[in-house]
Chains A and B, each alone.
Chain A
Amino acid sequence: MPTPGSSVTLRGVRQVFPGGVVAVESMDLDVAAGEFLAILGPSGSGKSTLLRIIAGLDRPTAGDVTVQRPDAGRFDIAYVFQDAHLLPWRTVLSNAALPLELQGVDRARRREIATEALVKVGLGDALGRYPAQLSGGMRMRVSLARAMVTSPTLLLLDEPFAALDEITRQLLDEQLRELWLSRGMTVVFVTHSTSEAVFLAERTVVLSKRPARIISDRPVDLPAKRIGELRATADFARETRHVYDALERGEA
Chain B
Amino acid sequence: MKSASLRRLVASIWPPVLVLIAAMLLLELYVRWANTPIYLVPRPSKVVNTLVEEREYLVAALWSTTKAALVGFAASTVFGMAIAIVLASSVWVRRAFSPYTVFFQTVPIIAIAPMLSIWFAPGLKAVAACAFIVSVFPVIANTLAGLIATDPALVDLFRLYGAGRGATMFKLRFPASLPSVFTGLRVAAGLTVIGTVVAEFLVGELGEAQGLGVVIVSASHNGHSDRVFAAVLLASALGLAMLGTVNLVGRLVLANWYAPARD
Chain A contacts to B: CB under 8 angstroms: 55-57, 75, 77-79, 81, 83, 85, 87-89, 98-99, 101-103, 130-132, 150
| A150 CA to B163 CA, complexed, in Å | 14
| A139 CA to B162 CA, complexed, in Å | 23
CB distance from B159 to the nearest CB of A (A): 7
Q: A79-B160, A83-B153, A87-B172 are in contact. List 10 more A-B contacts (CB 8 A).
A: A75-B161, A77-B160, A79-B156, A85-B151, A85-B157, A102-B158, A103-B162, A130-B256, A132-B256, A132-B259
Q: B175 on the interface (CB 8 Å rule)?
A: yes
| A78 CA to B160 CA, complexed, in Å | 8
Size category of the binding interface on chain B: 20 to 34
Contacts of B157 in A (CB 8 A): 79, 81, 85
| A87 CA to B258 CA, complexed, in Å | 11
| A58 CA to B136 CA, complexed, in Å | 38
Q: B257 on the interface (CB 8 Å rule)?
A: yes
| A81 CA to B153 CA, complexed, in Å | 7
* With A57-B156, A87-B154: A132-B167 Cβ-Cβ less than 8 Å: no
Nearest neighbor of B154 in chain A, beta-carbon distance: A85
The reply to whether B162 and A87 contact each other, CB–CB distance below 8 Å, is no
Q: B148 on the interface (CB 8 Å rule)?
A: no
Chain B contacts to A: CB under 8 angstroms: 151, 153-154, 156-163, 167, 171-172, 175-176, 178, 254, 256-259
CB distance from A220 to the nearest CB of B (A): 28
Nearest neighbor of B167 in chain A, beta-carbon distance: A102
| A83 CA to B154 CA, complexed, in Å | 11
CB distance from A120 to the nearest CB of B (A): 20
Nearest neighbor of A130 in chain B, beta-carbon distance: B256
Contacts of B160 in A (CB 8 A): 55-57, 77-79
The reply to whether A99 and B156 contact each other, CB–CB distance below 8 Å, is no
Contacts of A88 in B (CB 8 A): 256-258
Instruction: From B154, B157, B159, B172, name the one whose CB has the most chain A CB atoms within 10 angstroms.
Output: B157
The reply to whether B175 and A87 contact each other, CB–CB distance below 8 Å, is yes
| A130 CA to B257 CA, complexed, in Å | 7
| A101 CA to B164 CA, complexed, in Å | 12
CB distance from B161 to the nearest CB of A (A): 4
Contacts of B256 in A (CB 8 A): 88-89, 130, 132
The reply to whether B258 and A102 contact each other, CB–CB distance below 8 Å, is no
CB-contact partner of B175 in A56, A85, A89, A102, under 8 A = A89
| A3 CA to B142 CA, complexed, in Å | 46
The reply to whether A102 and B162 contact each other, CB–CB distance below 8 Å, is yes
27 CB < 8 A contacts A-B = A56-B160, A57-B160, A75-B161, A75-B162, A77-B160, A79-B157, A81-B153, A81-B157, A85-B157, A87-B154, A87-B172, A89-B175, A89-B254, A89-B256, A99-B161, A101-B171, A102-B158, A102-B162, A102-B163, A102-B167, A102-B171, A103-B162, A130-B256, A130-B257, A131-B257, A132-B256, A132-B259
Nearest neighbor of A91 in chain B, beta-carbon distance: B256
